[in-house]
Structure 1
Amino acid sequence: MLSTPGGHPPDHWSPTAAGTAEALPDVAPRLRDLRRGRGLTLEAAAKRAGLSPAHLSRLETGNRQPSLPMLLGLARIYGTTVAELLGESAPEREPIIRAGLGEPAPADGWTYHRAGVPGRAMQALRLVVPYGSQGDLVRVHPGEEWLHVLHGRLRLGLGDAVHELNPGDSAHFDSLTPHRIAAVTPDGAELLFVHTLLQSPDVHPHI
C-alpha cells in the first residue's frame, strides 16, 4: 500500500559534512531511547539496520558517530525522522482532523481521504477502493498494515491465501507478505487504513 514519508536531512547538510563527528550533535542518547521505546533489542534493531550489535552499541554510547545513511536507516526503522534523531523540535501538529478537511485525492481509480497528519510514523487514511482486480499488481514493502471495512466487501490476498472481508471486518498483517486488495461489490468498498514502517517480529499475516 502506501509508504509513510521518510525523514530528510536539513537543507544545509551535505553527505560529506554529515559523515564527520564534528558535524553531528550527540545523538547517542536519542538512538538508545528510541530503540527502547520501540521495544527493540539491540540485536533486533542492528539486524534491521544492517549493522552488527557491537556497532550499534558503539553508536548508542557515543563511541562512534553515525553517517548520514545510517541515520536515515535508523530513522526509518524507529518510525521517526532524522530531525528528531538530531533533537530538532518538530512543528506543532493539529491533532484533530475535521470532516471535509482537504480534498480527496484520486489515484489509479482509488480515492484517498486524509485521516491523519503528515510527518508521523503512522499513516492513517480513509480509502475508497474500486470494483475489480488489480491485475498483476502485488505489493510487498516493509511495515505493517491494518484495515477495517466500512462499506462494501473487500477481497484481500495475502501470499497464497485469499480472504473476503465484510463491513465490520478488519485485517492486520505485515506488509512484507505479498498482498493485493480489491473490492468485490460493484460500487466499490470503503475502508479505514493504517500503515507504519515499523515491522513486527512476526512476519506472518495476522488475520
Structure 2
Amino acid sequence: MWDIFPDMGKAAEEVEVRLAGRLAELRIERGWSLEELAGRSGISRSTLSRLERGEISPTAALLGRLCAVYERTMSRLLAEVESEPPQVVRAGAQQIFRDEETGFVRRSVSPPHPGLRGEVVEGTLRPGADIAYGTPPVPGLEQHIWVLEGAVEITANGHTHTVGAGDCLRFRLWGASRFRCPGPDPVRYAVLAVMP
C-alpha cells in the first residue's frame, strides 16, 4: 500500500489513476506487449495488467523494476503524473510513497522538474527493512546519500558500506543496489540524485 499526498483523499486517488495510466502509456510508447514487458521486468503479466488498470498499488520493488525498464527514476515517473510542479515544494505537498511490506517510506522533497537534472528524496527504513534493486533506473545515475538519523547498509556496484548519522556516501550507480536497515533504530536519509 502506498500513499501519495497523505490526508488529501481525492487528490491521492487521482494521482494513483494517473500513475496506472502512465505505466500503460510507457509500455505502449515502446510497442511492447504485456508479455514482453513481463520478460524485461521479471514481473508477471497478470501483475502488470492489474497495475496498469489501477487494481493494485505497486510495491517499491515493483516500481523500481519498472523504472529500470523505462530508464526513469521513481521521482521522475511520479512527477510525470503530477500537474505542473511549483518552484517551491511545500512540505505538505511533497509526494510520499509507503511500502508497508518492506517498511520503506520515500518522500520526494524536490521532485524532477524540466530543465533541472537533480532531485532530492528522503528515505526512511524501519529496522530489518531490506530493499534490493536489480538494475539502476538510469545507468550512471549519480547519487549522494546523507544519513540524517540511524545507520543503513548500502550495497552499490558490488561494494557494501555501512553509513551512519552525518555520513555521506556518493557514487555513480551502474549495477544492482540494496538498502538494509540493520537496526535497532529506523534510519532516515536524504538522497541527492543527478541524472547523467
As a proportion of its length, which structure holds more helix?
A: 2
- Give the number of the structure whose alpha-carbon radius of gyration is greater: 1
TM (norm. structure 2) is: 0.48
As a proportion of its length, which structure holds more strand?
A: 2
